[in-house]
Chains A and B, each alone.
Chain A
Amino acid sequence: MTRADRLLLLLVICTLPLLYAQLWQQDGTASHIQVLTGNDAPVTAPLAADRTLHVHGPLGDSVIEVSKGRARFLSSPCAGQTCVHSGWLQAAGEVAACLPNRVSLQIVGVRPRFDAINF
């Protein structure tokens, strides 16, 4: 094996994880949450790390819980509580929003199956 062969082999080994992510990972695998508040830039956080996020909106704090690869609105200061009733989100593309408090929570992932969800 020449030096060039060894370099090529090293390059291939290094790129295998990327290839796996791009080509073999299942479509729609959820990896992160994306939280949008008002018209601020969205914030992302990994789904793998359990945590509780306090997100400040015009009505007060919306509390988002991330646990066991899922995320939900734990509480929100709105009257309707539609966001809280949305329950756990875990599939890439799923979204819940507290419109009165202008906070949205979306699951994002590798190559989501859908470009948009109609409802």
Chain B
Amino acid sequence: MMLARLPVILLLAAFAGACSNGNNSAYHDQFFAFGTLVDVTFYGTDPDLAAQASEAIANDFHTLHQEWHAWQPGQLTATNALLAQLEPFRGDPVVLPVIREANRLARLSGDLFNPTIGKLVTLWGFHDNALPVGTLPDRQAIAALVAQAPSAKDVVIRDDMVSNSNPAVQYDLGAFAKGYAIDRIMERLRSLGIENAIVNAGGDLRAIGRHGNRPWRVGIRHPRQKGILASIEIETDASIFTSGDYERHFEIDGTRYHHIIDPRSGYPADTATSVTVIHGNAATADAAATALFVAGPGHWTGVARSMGVELVMLVDTSGVIHMTPGMQQRIRFEPGISPELRISEPLS
């Protein structure tokens, strides 16, 4: 009799197992902040604490966005106004640590990540919520700014005193602020006792811990077609940042002009379509994704080494994928996707 009931018992056991599956313990929230859509997932967190934490980080994102905004009045625009006067001044305590870290990463990148080219970004019309339409910036104005070569090296910070020797310097933390903010947010979540989380701000993310009994699973979007290019699993702690020419861009006469400006030419960098960087620190991943995009397929390895980045995937304009051996081990291409691969020497 007992044996006859065995299939039924097994079925019930399977049902119980399905009900206790990890999805039941995931908390998910979305909100608009930092100029983008922020998506958060916590695993194994008390629902009340999760809701409280989500609200807290939404507030943090709003505050940081105001403080570091490149063109809406706030602490960064006030700092830019002082830098333009070319006289030493006492730095704003809210902005100074961010600028210090941005300058450090700029130096490591050989200025390919250049947070001081705000004037160039303005010329291209990317300092607006709406994208520019119709006309390109004046060629001579671009050449003049490039000749002035604004650089983080022009800005000297001693204790809290800041001096600037180049009138072309104007900070725009767009290629860095999101990463720096996500690092801060993760510190906040940990201080609240949250150990398993993904914070995804407009496609750039940091994940800590795990999704229950499995790692976090992240899909990397294909830069040139709908759908996913590859996937990666994360456990413990990692940030994944991608810079792509498909993000903020506009087209004139069939040519695409995007927001990743090569500080050496003053024009959008044009040898890569996307660069994905995985790193423990989101600010580094963010700045490196931009710097390696600008460096392009011929020069990215040297810049990555200098910035201490070991997991990189660069898709060039021909669709060839360049990556480090470490990245090759970590990612899995989607079925049916088998691009031409060029694997670099190990960078460490």
Chain A positions near chain B (C-beta within 8 angstroms) = 5, 8-9, 11-12, 15, 18-19, 22-23, 34, 36, 38-39, 42, 78-80, 82, 87, 91, 93, 95, 97, 99-100, 102, 104, 106, 111, 113-119
Q: Are B130 and A116 in contact (CB under 8 A)?
A: no
Q: Are A100 and B12 in contact (CB under 8 A)?
A: no
A11-B12, A22-B21 known; 6 other A-B pairs, CB under 8 Å?
A36-B32, A87-B226, A95-B37, A115-B217, A118-B200, A118-B242
Interface residues on B, range: 35 or more
Q: Are A118 and B204 in contact (CB under 8 A)?
A: yes
Q: Are A115 and B211 in contact (CB under 8 A)?
A: yes
B-chain residues with CB within 8 Å of residue A114 when the two chains form the complex:
217-219, 228, 231
Mostly, the A contact residues are mixed
Give 17 A-B contacts (CB < 8 Å), ordered by A residue: A19-B15, A22-B19, A39-B31, A79-B130, A80-B130, A102-B32, A104-B32, A111-B23, A113-B217, A114-B231, A116-B198, A116-B218, A116-B219, A118-B200, A118-B219, A118-B241, A119-B244
Using an 8 Å CB-CB cutoff, how does the interface string of B1-31 with A read, 1 for contact, 0 for none? 0000100100110110011010100000011
Q: Are A118 and B240 in contact (CB under 8 A)?
A: yes
Q: Are B242 and A119 in contact (CB under 8 A)?
A: yes
Q: Are A97 and B37 in contact (CB under 8 A)?
A: yes
**Nearest neighbor of B58 in chain A, beta-carbon distance:** A39
Q: Are B18 and A117 in contact (CB under 8 A)?
A: no
Docked Cα-Cα span, A108 to B281, in Å, equals 29
Q: Are A117 and B8 in contact (CB under 8 A)?
A: no
Q: Are B216 and A115 in contact (CB under 8 A)?
A: yes
Chain B positions near chain A (C-beta within 8 angstroms) = 5, 8, 11-12, 14-15, 18-19, 21, 23, 30-32, 35-37, 39, 41, 58, 129-131, 133, 198, 200, 203-205, 207, 211, 216-221, 226-228, 231, 240-242, 244, 247, 250, 276
Docked Cα-Cα span, A18 to B23, in Å, equals 15
Docked Cα-Cα span, A19 to B228, in Å, equals 29
Mostly, the B contact residues are strand
Q: Are B32 and A39 in contact (CB under 8 A)?
A: yes
B-chain residues with CB within 8 Å of residue A36 when the two chains form the complex:
30-32, 37
Contact with B18, one of A5, A22, A87, A104 (Cβ below 8 angstroms): A22
Shortest CB–CB separation between residue B261 and chain A, in angstroms? 18
Q: Are A23 and B14 in contact (CB under 8 A)?
A: yes
B-chain residues with CB within 8 Å of residue A87 when the two chains form the complex:
226
**Nearest neighbor of B334 in chain A, beta-carbon distance:** A113
A-chain residues with CB within 8 Å of residue B18 when the two chains form the complex:
18-19, 22-23
Give the residue among A19, A91, A116 with the most B Cβ atoms within 10 A: A116
B-chain residues with CB within 8 Å of residue A113 when the two chains form the complex:
217, 219, 231
Docked Cα-Cα span, A106 to B37, in Å, equals 11
